[in-house]
């Protein structure tokens, strides 16, 4: 296999893995009524078909990212695929609600290992520059397409086959990807091959604290929606979450030999500020936007599951087209922070227009018009923001950086949705809050360093070498 063919196969593998991970965040939404009827799932337990995946995914992402650094990218990629595929098979064959929910949690764990590995595979295989920009643009576009395609794929499979098909369809895809990964990822595995890398240990106390903290925080916010913010269960869960996350910060800073979030990464402004922007943007673009638009199309416009999925196609096509064709060309000529700022402002304008929808609006005025601004904005800022939080990272910390970025995005989406459902009384107000969040993203993005600043600070830069020789 030539170097070009291997690079193409690596890109295909990374994008396929990421598509599966993002797809399964939303693919079960339209199948929930069928699952409830088939397995006799109660209304209270039904939400955990979705939440079990989201909580395991968000909670274990930092650990999953560090596994790639410790044991090698190929090992982590194949392990994530195997666990994801086995859990998909178990969920598709589940005969009880408990089995289905447990399988969805195991799917989330597999996704938490796989998602950071897909990004570290790319950043290790494509050096910084135009080739990496194009690869990240494709990876980002596929991520957007996977999130948007979930409702459509779930609707088609549920309506024409069975709800079980939305889980079982993953199995043959995982098998093909696993075979190809073993063949082509050997050249991109971490130093030392598939075995453990010397000097890197897994921070199990940190993993337990951050996972427990994020799960408790998400659980507390979700229960506050049903019981109220002053109820004992959500208050206790959120208090325990604060203690666990504070303990995690202390462990990472003082005692962890190989921290899941190395403190040295936070000395770089693009990383810590970029992850803050990821968190805010994820609270708008991840689950919240799809959730509220799905309700509008199905409850107000009377669309079926398949029709609602088709209604999201303009969002997907516009975001992918802008992200694949326009953004990489602009990134070669325009400061990345400028693209993030402009994209976030366009998205804010689109969310504000979306907040004006009424029951009398149809698809063209209520959905398609705002979709143009929201999608073009997302297509403009996604790739430069991903580039900002992964550039200049030591290869030994590549998995940690990828895990942090995915955690920020996933936790932002999960917490954003729970908070919006809990705090607002209508779809319009939710989109007003999203618009305000994107204005904040635009404002904070101006503080990201420009490309000249990054070159001056990059290791190996002549200015840095000159300073290092000065007594």
Q: What is the DSSP letter of 331?
A: H
Exposure on the CB side of residue 398, measured as CA atoms within 13 A: 26
Where along the chain do its domains lie?
3-191+258-456, 204-257
Which residues, 6 or more positions from 60, have their beta carbon under 8 angstroms from its beta carbon?
Answer: 108, 109, 112, 113, 207, 211
CB contact at 8 A, 405 and 390: yes
How many CB atoms lie under 10 A from the CB of residue 57? 29
First to last CA, the chain: 49
47: helix, strand or coil: helix
* CA atoms of 372 and 362, how far apart (whole Å): 16
Which residues, 6 or more positions from 299, have their beta carbon under 8 angstroms from its beta carbon?
Answer: none
DSSP string, 392-432: T--GGGHHHHHHHHHHHHHHHHHHHHHHHHHH-SSHHHHHH
Which residues, 6 or more positions from 302, have their beta carbon under 8 angstroms from its beta carbon?
Answer: none
In the chain, count H helices and then E strands.
22, 0
161: helix, strand or coil: coil
pLDDT of amino acid 323: 83
CB contact at 8 A, 158 and 51: no
Report the b/e string of 332-354 with b at 16+ CB within 10 A: eeebbbbbbbbbbbbbbbbbbbb
Which residues, 6 or more positions from 256, have their beta carbon under 8 angstroms from its beta carbon?
Answer: 203, 205, 206
- Report mean pLDDT in 10-residue bins for the chain, 471 residues: 74 89 81 83 72 80 78 86 95 92 93 87 78 82 76 82 92 92 65 46 81 83 78 92 93 81 82 91 81 79 79 84 87 90 96 88 86 92 86 73 80 79 79 95 90 47 39 34
Helix (H) / strand (E) element for 45: namely: helix 43-71
202: helix, strand or coil: coil
pLDDT of amino acid 407: 81
pLDDT of amino acid 126: 81
461: helix, strand or coil: coil
Which residues, 6 or more positions from 426, have their beta carbon under 8 angstroms from its beta carbon?
Answer: none
pLDDT of amino acid 189: 43
Closest by alpha carbon to 169, among 286, 347, 28, 339?
A: 28
CB contact at 8 A, 81 and 137: no
CATH superfamily of 3-191+258-456: MFS general substrate transporter like domains (1.20.1250.20)
pLDDT of amino acid 164: 94
Closest by alpha carbon to 142, among 134, 330, 237?
A: 134
DSSP string, 168-183: HTHHHHHHHHHHHHHH
Which residues, 6 or more positions from 393, have their beta carbon under 8 angstroms from its beta carbon?
Answer: 123, 265, 271, 401
φ, ψ of residue 24 in degrees (nearest 5): -80, -5
* CA atoms of 350 and 372, how far apart (whole Å): 7
pLDDT of amino acid 451: 62
Quick one: tokens of 76?
A: 């982590």
pLDDT of amino acid 54: 77
200: helix, strand or coil: coil
* CA atoms of 352 and 382, how far apart (whole Å): 20
pLDDT of amino acid 1: 60
Quick one: tokens of 113?
A: 């290992």
Total residue count of the chain as it appears in this document: 471
pLDDT of amino acid 89: 96
DSSP string, 68-126: HHHH-HHHHHHHHHHHHHHHHHHHHT--SHHHHHHHHHHHHHHHHHHHHHHHHHHHHHS
φ, ψ of residue 11 in degrees (nearest 5): -60, -45
pTM of the model: 0.75
């Amino acid at each position: 296999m030539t170097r070009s063919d291997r690079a193409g196969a690596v890109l295909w593998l990374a994008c396929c893995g990421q598509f599966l991970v993002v797809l399964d965040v939303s693919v079960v939404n339209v199948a929930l009524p069928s699952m409830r009827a088939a397995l006799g799932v109660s209304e209270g337990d039904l939400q955990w078909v979705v939440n079990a995946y989201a909580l395991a995914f968000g909670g274990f992402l930092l650990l999953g990212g560090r596994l790639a650094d410790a044991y090698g990218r190929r090992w982590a990629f194949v392990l994530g695929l195997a666990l994801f595929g086995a859990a998909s098979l178990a969920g598709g064959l589940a005969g009880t609600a408990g089995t289905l929910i447990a399988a969805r949690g195991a799917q989330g764990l597999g996704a938490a290992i796989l998602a950071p590995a897909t990004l570290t595979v790319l950043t290790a295989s494509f050096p910084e520059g135009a080739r990496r920009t194009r690869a990240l643009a494709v990876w980002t576009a596929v991520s957007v397409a996977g999130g948007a395609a979930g409702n459509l794929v779930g609707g088609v499979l549920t309506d024409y086959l069975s709800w079980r098909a939305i889980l079982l369809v993953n199995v043959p895809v995982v098998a093909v990807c696993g075979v190809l990964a073993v063949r082509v990822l050997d050249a991109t595995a971490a130093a030392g091959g598939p075995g453990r890398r010397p000097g890197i240990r897994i921070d199990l106390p940190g993993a337990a604290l951050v996972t427990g903290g994020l799960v408790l925080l998400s659980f507390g916010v979700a229960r506050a929606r049903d019981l109220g913010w002053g109820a004992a269960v959500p208050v206790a869960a959120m208090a325990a979450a604060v203690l666990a996350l504070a303990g995690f910060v202390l462990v990472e800073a003082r005692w962890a030999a190989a921290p899941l979030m190395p403190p040295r990464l936070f000395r770089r402004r693009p990383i810590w500020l970029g992850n803050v922007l990821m968190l805010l943007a994820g609270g708008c673009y991840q689950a919240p936007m799809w959730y509220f638009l799905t309700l509008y199309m199905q409850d107000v416009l009377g669309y079926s599951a398949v029709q609602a999925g088709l209604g999201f196609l303009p969002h997907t096509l516009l975001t992918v087209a802008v992200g694949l064709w326009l953004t990489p060309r602009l990134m070669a000529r325009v400061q990345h922070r400028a693209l993030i700022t402009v994209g976030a402002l366009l998205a804010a304008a689109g969310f504000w227009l979306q907040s004006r929808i009424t029951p009398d609006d149809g698809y063209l005025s209520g959905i398609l018009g705002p979709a143009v601004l929201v999608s073009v904005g997302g297509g403009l800022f996604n790739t430069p923001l991903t580039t900002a939080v992964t550039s200049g990272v030591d290869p030994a910390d590549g998995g940690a950086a990828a895990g942090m970025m995915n955690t920020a995005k996933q936790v932002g989406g999960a917490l954003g949705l729970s908070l919006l459902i809990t705090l607002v009384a209508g779809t319009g107000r939710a989109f007003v809050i999203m618009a305000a969040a994107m204005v904040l993203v635009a404002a904070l993005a101006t503080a990201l360093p420009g490309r000249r600043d990054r070159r001056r600070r990059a290791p190996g830069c002549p200015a840095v070498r000159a300073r290092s020789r000065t007594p």
